[in-house]
Amino acid sequence: MTFAHVVTDRTRRLGTRLCVGLDPRTEAYRDPDHLRAHTLDVLEATAPYAACVKPQLAFYEALGLEGLHILEEVCAAARTLGLPVLLDGKRGDIGSTALAYAQGWLTGRHAGAALTVNPFLGFETLTPFVETARAQGGAVFVLVKTSNPGQGDLQGSGVSERVAVEVARLCAEELGTEELGAGKPGTGYASVGAVVGATHPQDLALYRALMPRALLLLPGLGAQGGAAGALTGAFAPGGVGALASASRGVQYASGLDVTASVAAARTFRDDLNAALGVAAP
């Protein structure tokens, strides 16, 4: 089963298209053990509402080697729960270095099944990531239009959107062109997905149309102002093809209260489903 299969299967079986971000902030905890325990608790408690989980590498790297050990445990726990891991690293570099990043984050000890990648150095530099992911049945998510307010400086703003649209076109026409099977859940999605911020609801249908075979990752739900009810344009019929992602809005829904994290994940799931007119089984 590929990453796309597993998340699409979870969407169909569990009725969720929520990606739970696990971005533990050192300042919220007494010490790394406390951070580790709370992050694992949030993971386990919210798993029934998650199509996948997305640890942001920066929060683990900030703790040095100890953080990488915690990341390894988080990835292992997610796998035990049957939850696919999408690592948010936004990596990108010249080809030979890109290969090392790909080996580290897609095949190494703390590997995820999928990784976010940055196309700024050119599409040829993404090839090592795509080939490594494909060989593992994994995926890459290419930054197309990020969620942050300043994205327009380089990605295009307002009606122009030239760079983001060009990246989307290249994702669809050059990277995500592998043969796809038919008939099984998720077989309609390639190993190359794309990141489009949940903070751009008005643009989602455009990117959905430009990249019909790409799973779309929609970060920015909750803390950055993205609203679950405004994301329908990113989804294909049946409510598949996109993952709406919240990190702080789940992990720190109310301080460190894990019950509040569960309630927040359930609410995001239900709000997405209500907007799409689908029900959780």
Would you please indicate which residues are annotated as catalytic (active-site) residues? 90
Residues in Cβ contact with 81 at an 8 Å cutoff, skipping those fewer than 6 apart: 43, 44, 47
Give least dist CB 237 to ligand OMP, A: 25
| Cα–Cα dist 275/98, whole Å | 39
Q: Which residues contact residue 177 at a Cβ distance below 8 angstroms, ignoring those fewer than 6 apart?
A: 190
Which of residues 2, 4, 8, 21 is near ligand OMP by CB under 6 A?
A: 21
Sequence-distant (≥ 6) Cβ neighbours of residue 19 within 8 angstroms: 50, 51, 52, 53, 54, 86, 217, 219, 243, 244, 245, 246
Subset of residues 79 to 118 that bind ligand OMP, contact rule: CB under 6 A: 88, 90, 116
Residue 35 tokens read as 């951070």
User: Binding segment for ligand OMP among 3-11, 76-84, 162-170, 217-225 (CB under 6 A)?
Assistant: 217-225
Name the segment binding ligand OMP (CB under 6 A); options: 63-71, 92-100, 171-179, 240-248. Answer: 240-248
203 contributes a contact to ligand OMP by CB under 6 A: no
Give Cβ neighbours of residue 227 (< 8 Å, ≥ 6 apart): 198, 201, 221, 271
State how far the Cα of 107 lies from the Cα of 135, in Å rounded to an integer: 10
> Is residue 132 at the binding interface for ligand OMP, with CB under 6 A as the rule?
no
CA-based torsion, 145, 229, 79, 110: positive or negative: positive
Please pick, from the candidates 12, 34, 248, 266, the single residue that binds ligand OMP as defined by CB under 6 A: 248
CB closer to ligand OMP, 35 vs 185 = 35
Q: Cβ atoms within 10 A of the Cβ of 92, count?
A: 20
Site string for ligand OMP, 161-200 (x = CB under 6 A): ----------------------------------x-x---
Nearer to ligand OMP, 60 or 235 (CB): 60
Footprint on this chain of ligand OMP (rule: CB under 6 A): 21, 23, 54, 56, 88, 90, 116, 146-147, 195, 197, 219-220, 222-224, 245-249
